């Protein structure tokens, strides 16, 4: 008899494609994350110092600010719940992978040439690293010990460098294509080192119960993830509802 797998399952290729298509569709604001940035963002949340409740991080997936932006146009309540489930399953998979001591491979795109008159394509790994840095920004104070520790700050170097490659105040000289490739290759081990840093800080007499993996799902009374400013249960969480 086949053993039924426990817990949420990793997203399939078709589910990842479905999620990326929605993120890049006209249903979301122009500054919504794409799948690469989302993967970096969720990885940063998964390996960080403490769990962040879904309502505190979901809004940033759709753009930079929750003020003055239009809601995400989900087709229905079931579609909203389905897409939230895909995002939370991916987050949960990253958490479980890191807890097992395995480095997750980042989701990276080849953005190619942008067409006549367009700006140069982003540096490989820079979009993913920007997502990771946005996760750090949600818990900037909590992340400070990692920046102050020699080993973990070294692990942060490729992420910070790729995310801020065009900012001379942070990165003195933008990395070459070969240097960027080396930084991208270093990302999985860097993420695993950061996860181990935080897990080691968890280990102690006051750490009981904190290592359990739990998906912080959006609650009925939480703001709806579509950005409508209504409660989830009165918006996309209502059976058959439409925005």
Is 147 in contact with 137 (CB distance < 8 Å)?
no
Question: Helices (DSSP H) in 74-125: which residue ranges?
Answer: 77-99
Nearest Cα to Cα of residue 19 among 85, 76, 65:
85
Question: Alpha-carbon distance 141 to 26, whole Å?
Answer: 35
Q: Using CA atoms, how far apart are residues 1 and 154, in angstroms rounded to an integer?
A: 47
The whole-number average pLDDT for the span 137-147 is: 93
Q: Residue 166's pLDDT band (boundaries 50, 70, 90)?
A: confident
For 33, the 3-state DSSP assignment is coil
CA torsion 200-102-156-145 (nearest 10°) is -10
- Give the tens place of pLDDT for each residue, 92-128: 999 999 999 999 999 998 876 655 556 677 888 999 9
Please check whether residue 111 is in contact with residue 120, taking contact to mean a CB–CB distance below 8 angstroms.
no
Q: Which 3-state string (H, E, C) describes 180-239?
A: HHHHHHHHHHHHHHHHHHHHHHHCCCCCCCCCCCCCCCCCCCCECCCCCCCEHHHCCCCC
Q: What's the burial of 241, exposed, middle or buried (CB within 10 Å: 0-12/13-18/19+)? A: middle
Sign of the C-alpha dihedral, residues 204, 207, 209, 210? negative
Classify burial at 98, counting beta carbons within 10 Å of its beta carbon; exposed 0-12, middle 13-18, buried 19 or more.
Answer: buried
Q: CB burial class (10 A; 0-12, 13-18, 19+) of residue 103?
A: middle
Q: What pLDDT is recorded for position 52?
A: 87
Integer Cα distance of 190 and 134 in angstroms:
17
Tens-place pLDDT, residues 168-199: 777 777 888 888 899 999 999 999 999 999 99
pLDDT for the residue 94? 95
CB proximity list for 97: less than 8 A, separation 6 or greater: 103, 104
- Is 80 exceeded by the pLDDT of residue 68? no
Instruction: Let me know: does 64 contact 55? Beta carbons within 8 Å.
Output: no
What topology does CATH give the domain 13-110+123-202+212-234?
Answer: 1.20.120
Given a cut of 70, whether residue 216 has pLDDT beyond it is no
Residue entry with tokens 């980042």: 106
pLDDT tens readout for residues 35-66: 999 999 999 999 999 888 888 888 889 886 55
């Amino acid at each position: 008899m086949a053993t039924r797998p426990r817990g949420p399952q990793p997203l399939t290729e078709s589910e990842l494609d479905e999620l990326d298509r929605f993120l890049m569709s006209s249903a979301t604001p122009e500054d919504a994350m794409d799948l690469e940035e989302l993967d970096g963002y969720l990885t940063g949340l998964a390996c960080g110092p403490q769990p962040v409740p879904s309502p505190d991080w979901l809004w940033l997936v759709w753009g930079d600010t929750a003020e003055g932006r239009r809601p995400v146009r989900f087709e229905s309540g079931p579609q909203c719940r389905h897409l939230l489930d895909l995002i939370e399953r991916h987050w949960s998979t990253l958490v479980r992978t890191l807890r097992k001591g395995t480095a997750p491979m980042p989701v990276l795109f080849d953005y190619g040439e942008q067409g006549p008159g367009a700006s140069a394509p982003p540096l490989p790994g820079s979009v993913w690293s920007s997502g990771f840095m946005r996760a750090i920004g949600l818990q900037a104070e909590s992340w400070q010990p990692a920046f102050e520790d020699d080993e973990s700050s070294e692990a942060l170097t490729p992420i910070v460098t790729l995310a801020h490659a065009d900012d001379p105040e942070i990165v003195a000289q933008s990395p070459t294509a070969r240097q960027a490739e080396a930084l991208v290759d270093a990302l999985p081990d860097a993420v695993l080192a950061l996860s181990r840093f935080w897990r080691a800080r968890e280990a102690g007499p006051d750490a009981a119960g904190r290592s359990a993996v739990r998906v912080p799902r959006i609650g009925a009374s939480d703001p709806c993830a579509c950005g409508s400013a209504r409660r989830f249960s009165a918006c996309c969480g209502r059976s058959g509802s439409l925005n």
